[in-house]
Amino acid sequence: MFLVGALVFLLVGGAAGAVLRTELAREGVDLDIQYGRLLSLHATVATLLFLLPAWIGLASWLVPLQIGASRLAFPRLHALALWLFLLGGTLVVAAYILGRPVFELAEGLPKPGPDQGANEATSLAIMGLVLVAVSTLLAAMDLAVTVLKLRTTGLTLVRLPMFSWSVLITCLALLLATPVFLAGLALLYLDRHFGGDLFLGNTAGNAVWRHTLWLFGRPEALLVLLPGLGAACDIVATHAHRPLLGGAAARQAMVVFAAISFATWTAGPGVADALVLPTYSMPTALVVLPVAVVALVLLGTTVKGRPQLHISLLFVSGFLVLAGLGVLNAGVAAVVGVDGRAWTTGHLHIVGFGAPTMLFFAALYHWAPKMTGRHPSPKLGGAAFLGLFGGFALLGLGSYLLGYDGGPARLQDYEFTAGATTFNPLGFLGALMAVLGLAAFALDFLRIALFGGGEEAGDDPYEGLTLEWAAPSPPPPQNFESVPEVRSAQPLLDLRTPVKSGSRG
Amino acid sequence: MASTTLTSPVAALPPAGVEPPRNVMPMGVLLLSASGAMLFGALVATYLHLRDVTEPWPPEGVKLDLYLGNLLIITMVLSAVTVEWACVAVRRDNRSQASAALGVTIGLGVAFLNLLSYTADQVPFDAASHSYGLVVTAMVMLLGITVGTGVAFVTLTLLRVSGRQLSAADPSQVRATACYWHFTVAASIAVWYTVAILK
């Protein structure tokens, strides 16, 4: 349900983004919309209501399977978290229907709105975000406790499947980062509700708001990638039929990644006003290092294992290409200097959103046979990959090039110079491709869910390594008929491999 | 590498033994307490930042009643003792003592909330008065919610102890309750120290 909710919010945010791109595609096109309100909705949904809840949803289903548990540690609390998320997300979207809240997550500072006093849209948005934040806290706590306490016998922390490991790290980081956001929201709500002016034009208040947002938003913007890295490791190892080459390094890189995601806060309000917009500080740049380590582990395992092509591997390779494109452009931008230009929009779509989204879809396609008992269609999966990968690449490329051409960020109507005329339609084409990719994905999964389409997958379609492949497909309510015992990080591989006396451990 | 394909791998796995006791609740409460520490840490940091950049601080005309603040803290520290008493009693399977201890803890928690509400009524400012008023109101409001949640948690534990659902064989919920309650005491002390002592 978390997953379905997140995908519905993706549709809402994606629809808003598509309308924005239509507005920008051609000179003179005026859709008579409140561009700023739609942009704010698009950014808020993308930042808070899609990727993170989607990972939580997938983890809620997959983590117990991977650790050999029959359930989550606190299933009722998790159900509460789900309903809080759905209610909170709906309130946030409803707030944007009522009006434009005075603050925006993708910018930094609360701005005076049309109504200087507390208005319904702002109150509703704050309330919705509080519920989403509390939901995140509860779900993160539940997942962390599940991993820490419900692992089956023999499954030590260093033997955890990489996805579960990354979920544990992500949840611990979220438990520390999210309350800071809650504190900021509480202050903002009180200020607005009682008619104060701390956050409107007050320098001290602005600093407080920026710090609370940054201490939450910076880690959050990076942490949406972390479960994806774990999933990519499991996907590549499964299809390569071998343990990860340098798995320990990948584990450590994920911990370092989480630590650096907090350190990026030190890039601080002095660098830029934005919450998630890229900046060129050292901590931000350092994030590349652990990601590079994981990428090398993935490539090394692929070379050693020579896996068969699978849709999920296509998405992982798409992630690597987008991440590489982002790093390349960040390097160029650091030399050229593009702060405040449309370049930042491109970087957000490539690195901040596109790359982690590729990993999320990789995970969905990889574990779909376990989830549904059926294989997704390779043709529709290929179409989804082409649409999403091509879409994000073009969206990002259009904005990158416009930024290099001097085009400013966040303008409703560009003066249609030669650059804008060329590059904005590129972005529109990207948005269109992404929508088509999503449609192919939706068609494929609806075909399986509603009509029982797709080939039957069996319990272990890939000859997997980890415990989830030992459960029936789809898993029964208690997951396993008997909880298996584990003696290494690849219990199923151990069973298939003839064991020399005394060599197992 | 030679390998053999298994059609039903789970059948070949060695069966696991009896699941060990999990004690998930104390771990969950510990993690949520860490989150709570970040929440109050953020508010205290906000207070200290605003204090550094605002003159005068506290604003003129603001005078806090230390007597009430000290009473609040004494109440909470006492409740930390009674909740530990409940833990010891449950470990010894002494249900009546555990119920009494949890009951007294609830009483002290309610007394704290009552006194906190009274104190908030007495102060000559509100959230809109100035930045000092805003941050102090936020701290008091969130502290009230935290302690209120604690009272609800202790009440639930009391009901389960009274209904013989918790005993020396499974004291994890009482331990978790105590853990959460100690967090509320620590949060109260942090707020009191910031507002009344550091000023």
Long-range contacts of A4-9 (CB under 8 A, 24+ apart): A4/A57, A5/A53, A5/A57, A5/A82, A5/A85, A5/A86, A5/A89, A6/A49, A6/A50, A6/A51, A6/A53, A6/A54, A6/A57, A7/A50, A7/A54, A9/A45, A9/A49, A9/A50, A9/A53, A9/A89, A9/A93
pLDDT in tens, A256-285: 999 888 877 766 554 444 444 445 567 677
Interface contact flag, B49 A153, Cβ < 8 Å: no
Q: Residues of A numbered 136-165 whose beta carbons fall under 8 angstroms of chain B's beta carbons: which are they? A: 137, 141-142, 144-145, 148-150, 152-153
Q: How far is B26 from chain A (nearest CA, A)?
A: 10
3-state secondary structure A66-134: HCCCCCCCCHHHHHHHHHHHHHHHHHHHHHHHHCCCCCCCCCCCCCCCCCCCCCHHHHHHHHHHHHHHH
**Chain B residues touching residue A459 (CB < 8 angstroms):** 8-10
B107 pLDDT band, cuts 50/70/90, is very high
B169 — contact with chain A (CB < 8 Å)?
A: no
Does A499 contact chain B (CB < 8 Å)?
Answer: no
Enumerate residue ranges in chain A where pLDDT < 70.
25-34, 104-118, 200-202, 266-281, 283, 338-340, 409-422, 483-484, 498-505
Residue A271: what pLDDT?
A: 45
> Cβ A152–B35 below 8 Å, yes or no?
no
* Joined tokens for residue B23: 């004690």
pLDDT tens, position by position, A123-182: 888 899 999 999 999 999 999 999 999 988 888 999 999 999 999 999 999 999 999 989
Answer with the residue of higher pLDDT: B27 or A201.
B27
B124 touches chain A (CB under 8 A): no
pLDDT value of residue A339: 64
Closest to A176 (Cβ–Cβ): which among B13, B15, B34?
B34
What phi and psi, each to the nearest 5 degrees, are found at residue B14? -65, 140
For residue A399 the two structure tokens come to: 């904005």
- The pLDDT tens digits of the residues spanning A81-109 come to 999 999 999 998 888 888 777 776 655 55
Of A148, A198, A492, the CB nearest to B131: A198
Query: Which B residues, 60 through 119, put their C-beta within 8 Å of a C-beta on chain A?
Result: none
- pLDDT score, position A379: 92
pLDDT tens figures, B63-74? 877 888 899 999
Which residues in chain A are contacts of B137 at CB distance < 8 A?
Answer: 190, 194
* Per-residue tokens: B165: 């659902």
What per-residue confidence (pLDDT) applies to A101?
A: 76
Tell me which of B5, B8, B13, B156 to substitute to probe the interface with A (most A C-beta atoms closer than 10 Å).
B13
Q: Per-residue pLDDT for B179 more than 50?
A: yes
First CA to last CA across chain A, in angstroms?
A: 38
> B-chain residues within 8 Å CB-CB of A143?
none
Q: What's the confidence (pLDDT) of residue A368?
A: 93
Residue among B12, B50, B131 whose CB faces A495 most closely:
B12
Taking CB atoms and an 8 Å cutoff, what residues of chain A touch B41? 180
Straight-line distance from the first to the last Cα atom of chain B, in angstroms, rounded to the nearest whole number: 70
Task: Give pLDDT, residue A293.
Answer: 95
B158's CB contacts (< 8 A; 6+ apart) are B99, B102, B103, B106
Interface of A with B in 50-69 (CB under 8 A): 68
Of the partner residues A204, A241, A482, the one whose CB lies closest to the CB of residue B131: A204
Predicted pLDDT at A117: 42
A187·B126 Cβ contact <8 A = no
**Residue from the list A190, A480, A484 with its beta carbon closest to the beta carbon of B137:** A190
Is A198 in Cβ contact with B134 (below 8 Å)?
A: yes
Is the minimum CB–CB distance between B43 and chain A shorter than 8 Å? yes
Angle of helix B24-53 relative to helix B172-192, nearest 10 degrees?
10
Predicted local confidence at residue A413, as pLDDT:
59
Cβ pairs A/B, distance under 8 A: 155
Instruction: Evaluate whether A226 touches A254 at the Cβ level (below 8 Å).
Output: yes
How far, in whole angstroms, is CA A212 from its chain's centroid? 21
Among A136-140, A254-258, B12-16, B48-52, name the one with the lowest average pLDDT: B12-16
Q: Using a CB–CB cutoff of 8 Å, tell me whether B23 touches chain A.
A: yes
Question: Nearest by CB to A194, which of B16, B38, B128?
Answer: B128
Percent of residues, chain B, with pLDDT higher than 70: 89
Predicted local distance difference test score (pLDDT) of residue A275 = 40
Q: How many CB atoms lie within 10 A of CB B2?
A: 6
One-letter amino acid of A112: P
What pLDDT does residue B144 have?
96
How far is it, in rounded angstroms, from Cα A278 to Cα A281?
Answer: 9
C-beta separation of A495 from B12 below 8 A: yes
pLDDT at A195 (0 to 100): 74
Bond preceding residue B26 cis, omega within 30 of 0:
no
Q: Which residues contact A478 (CB under 8 A, 6 or more apart)?
A: A70, A71
Q: Which residues on A lie below 8 Å from B42 (Cβ)?
A: 179-180, 183-184, 212, 215
Amino acid found at A406? G
Distance from C-alpha of A333 to C-alpha of A213, rounded to nearest angstrom: 25
Q: A31: exposed, middle or buried (C-beta count within 10 Å: 0-12, 13-18, 19+)?
A: exposed
Q: Which of B16, B31, B131 sits opposite A482 (nearest CB)?
A: B16
- Does B156 lie at the interface with A, CB-CB under 8 angstroms? no
Coil, helix or strand for A197?
coil
Assign B53 a pLDDT band (cuts: 50, 70, 90): confident
Supply the pLDDT for residue A501: 45
